[in-house]
Chains A and B, each alone.
Chain A
Amino acid sequence: MQSVAEKQTPLTFQQLLFKLQTFWAERGCVLQQPYDVEVGAGTMSPDTFLRVLGPKPVRIAYAQPSRRPADGRYGENPNRLFRHTQFQVILKPPPVRIQEMYLESLEAIGIDLSEHDLKFEEDNWEWPVGGAWGVGWQVMLDGLEISQFTYFQQCGGMDLDPICGEITYGLERIAGFLQDVDSIYDIVWAVEPDTGRKVTYGDIRLPEEQQYSAYGFDYADVPKLWEHLNLYEAECLGLLEQAKSIVEMDELKKLRFPVLGAYELALKCSHLFNLLDARGAISVTERVGVMARIRTLVVGVAKAYAAQGEALAMPSREV
């Protein structure tokens, strides 16, 4: 009986997250916490970008706050955010029923598909900086793009085997759709059960949007940003240089070699690039060059990660 009432009240922002987490946990996904380094998309979290490499099966799901400085609008645009939230599901290898599972997840968050128009439209994904691409769709529900569905084919310039299925839900969009609000800031994030008071997305996040946008567009110190970028890059390159001899390392050193640390340094560079870009500090000419520098880091880390995995899988040569 309670379910009838539930259906009539759309999910709050946090209920939406709970439902998706529960749905995918019940289908064998490990629920990971959001990654704690700035990323532009859930794909860049090592839980996707690195775990898709190699033969090991993976089922993992997590919400990932994603920062896109250029999309900041000082909190004044009802549809665009400096930082939005993606819910990312990674299934390697992809189950045969992956599309059906996805549709069931929509039902689970209160979307009765028989009352809506659903289309899978071609949308191939590419992250040149990561040497990564896949084919897939944008899922359109009543004209709204609610998810990205991708079959990863390559990552770090390497063919994936098995390939990986990735589903990315845009949480703010879906919540706005479910709650039928025109502004992201009007999304109900939570309701206090005792008072019935609604806490909105704007209550929680508006100051962040205002201040991050101002920082990104007006305050960020361009020479300092370049300096940070150069420092992170140099350290990452240093680690990648050492990673070249990973095969020769002893077992313990192999295990502890910080490829993951190198990846965080590469992510820092990527975020700094996005900040510089939003600040208008990168000319088109420079752009290509800086992107190539970051590609060297990201692809380098992916290769080192794969090499480390292989080296650890091999019997130690010192035995």
Chain B
Amino acid sequence: MSEFLFEIGLEEIPARMIAAAEAELLRRTVALLERERLIPAGAAAKSFSTPRRLAVLIHHVAERQDDVAEELTGPATKIAFKDGAPGPAAIAFAKKAGIAVEELKVIQTPKGEYIAATTVKPGRTAAEVIAAELPKELSAIYWPKNMHWRPGRPSNPDRFVRPVRWLVALLGHAIVPVEFGGYTASDVTYGHRVLQGPAPVQVKSPASYAATLNEAFVMADVELRRHTIRKALDHVCRTIQSPAGCRWREDHALVDKLTHLTEWPSVIAGAFDPEYLTLPEEVLVTVMRDHQNYFAVEDKEGKLAAHFLAVLNTVPDERAAVTIQHGNARVLRARFNDARFFWEFDQRTPFAERVDLLENVTFQKDLGSYAVKSSRVVTVSGKLGAAVSGKGFAFHSEALLDAAKLAKVDLTCELVKEFTELQGIIGGLYARAAGLSETTAAAIYDQYTPASMEDRIPSTAEGCLLGIADRIDTIAGMFSLGLEPTGSKDPFALRRAANSIVKILADSQLPLTLSEVIAAASPSDEVAAKLKAFFAERLDFFLREAKGQAYDVVKAVLAVGADDPRDAVARAEAVSAVRSSDDFAAVSAAFKRMKNILAQAAEKSVAAAASVDDSLLTDPSEKALAEHSAILAGNVQRLRAAGDFKAALEAIATLRSQVDAFFEAVMVMAPEPEIRANRLALLQKVLADFSGIAEFSEIVTAG
């Protein structure tokens, strides 16, 4: 048993791709060795990565595969042997099997007597297998973007994320000559570009890999690097004197990115002129985080402090640390200066006057400019506002309409051209700075939220209404041009826009239905029908993906109503809460049976009576079902009206004993036509009374 180490050295791999590739290399190498019977299932294995390398270390690798005995069946004995002597067929078979004629044996098969040969397929050595098979696994690794680097296309098949620069493959102390990307593996790796320099570094054994690299200023273990960075951020933060008690702003994604951008990380703190703190925090944080990879620092109250933390790919001495800090601070100052220039420059044109400038900004070739779009969104907002007012929902109508009018104005601002990721947010900030009402500013600020299913919805009702109005205008407009999403193609991200509408309706208190939202955009009948189907799909997606509801529950719930997302969510949650109870499962099954009976009756054109006639109820069990369900129906109705779907479903489940007794004692399709019609009517009524929350027949029950 040996340990196997493989490392592929590359020019800097994009940070965003490293984690997945590292995991894939490990998975593929382990699967290969398992498949080739070189490691037991579940053998210990570990992976490493830095920007310049991916590596795996696998324990308990066998030196060679076990030999495998194989029995080959040849021709029938009577053909192979003539008078006890081997004929040409026997000789040919022995030759093919690679054994002497004398070693042939005779076996009995159901078809008679045959000659056979036992051959031993010798196991290959691990080194042979790895050298032959590992390159195929390397070529198969998925990269979001590949490149060519060696000449000779198309015969040269090298395609990888970045040029390969070296390979290390060691099985115990022996080099395995794996070939890939123009290199043959050796025991030589390379350390940190600057701290170690270009001198080769020998890896003496697989187990010494991490320690060897550590001496060459490379921390190959990703989690160790992540931990080192976090600790250093904490530590350096504590060295900041003023304000006391600073903390760095937690940012998992940024920690992750820097973990994959460094081989030998450390952290320095820098400061900027507190005067820049007069700029909006959103802008400062975006510059630091998105443009410079710096961590923002906040004081004890959570207010932004005039400091930043930078993660370095080196551990500088004191003098170098001063130089690096100075350099980073200089870059940040230039960026903040630019931002301040734009922030002040933009405000020289009064915010409200910028509405006219929107005429020059095209929204979509056939849907006009953003000025035209804004006026449409004002109209749609007005209609949505009227719909919720009509249901007694209070909000600031004027603030909403102002926000709708000004929502897109920030597209004409230099700051948005510089920081496109802050559109909307910058509009809100300018609106506030221009003295517009806080409600208007907040609605503009929040117009693009939620950007994803995990994101929050706008903090105000006006923001929610604006967000819905803007998106339904876009969706309806695109649909009217035939630009709806098809298959995997959704170039205008209309599905995401619709998901956001569904989420706002589900998570806010707005009394709005999807059909009211669609109607507000005044689509043609044809487009309205398409939109209805589109939103039903989105609601289905939302219940499953965002709310984690089971497929059958979603189907059951949407079958009885797909227009009110908040109501659908509540019903789905209630169904999921009770579905595991025995009574509920039994009632669901019974309801499914009722539905089937009614369907079969309809097929045979056996009509149900118009209503249930109590005098025709003959069996005590059907009388009991009729009585109990009548009482229960009122009850369930009240609970549903109060929105307590769970209690309503629990009440319905109490019908189990009557339902069970009914099916036990009664044959619905009785020979007497009037009794039969009456029983069918009873079933119809029960189903009608209790199916308002979900179509129970859709619920998949165990067994």
Contacts and interface: CB of A to CB of B under 8 A. Distances in A.
Contacts, number: 113
A115 B316 contact: yes
A142 B324 contact: yes
Q: 5 closest Cβ contacts across the A-B interface?
A: A142-B327, A122-B14, A162-B151, A284-B362, A120-B12
Interface string B130-162: 000000000000000101111111000000001
29 contacts: A79-B334, A96-B163, A96-B165, A99-B11, A103-B194, A114-B195, A115-B319, A116-B320, A116-B323, A117-B314, A117-B328, A119-B261, A119-B262, A122-B14, A122-B16, A135-B162, A142-B323, A142-B324, A142-B331, A143-B327, A143-B331, A144-B330, A151-B149, A177-B327, A177-B330, A180-B330, A182-B333, A283-B361, A284-B362
Contacts of A78: 334, 337
B165 to A, nearest CB: 8
B222 to A, nearest CB: 17
Interface in A267-295: 280, 283-285
Contact of B147 (A144, A151, A283): A151
A121 interface: yes
Given A114-B320, A118-B193, A135-B162, A163 B292 contact: no
A137 interface: yes
B313 A283 contact: no
Contact of B153 (A121, A142, A159): A159
B12 A153 contact: no
A121 B14 CA distance: 7
A251 interface: no
Interface in B143-197: 145, 147-153, 162-163, 165, 193-195
A141 interface: yes
A182 B334 contact: yes
A284 B149 CA distance: 37
A93 B51 CA distance: 24
B392 interface: no
Contacts of A285: 362, 365
A283 B165 CA distance: 47
B399 interface: no
Contacts of A177: 327, 330
Given A117-B314, A121-B261, A144 B12 contact: no
A276 B148 CA distance: 37
A255 interface: no
Interface string A158-183: 01011100000000000001001010
A80 B293 CA distance: 22
Interface string B315-341: 010011001101110111110011001
A280 B312 CA distance: 41
A105 interface: no
Given A77-B341, A114-B195, A283-B361, 9 more contacts: A78-B337, A103-B194, A115-B316, A117-B324, A118-B314, A122-B12, A135-B147, A151-B163, A180-B330
Contacts of B338: 77, 79-80
A202 interface: no
Contacts of A134: 147
B149 A141 contact: no
B149 A163 contact: yes
Nearest to A115: B320
Interface in A20-42: none
A94 interface: yes
A16 to B, nearest CB: 17
Nearest to B342: A77
B435 interface: no
A192 interface: no
Contacts of B51: 120
Given A118-B194, A151-B147, A182 B330 contact: yes
Given A143-B332, A161-B152, A103 B316 contact: no
Contact of A93 (B151, B262, B293): B151
A113 interface: yes
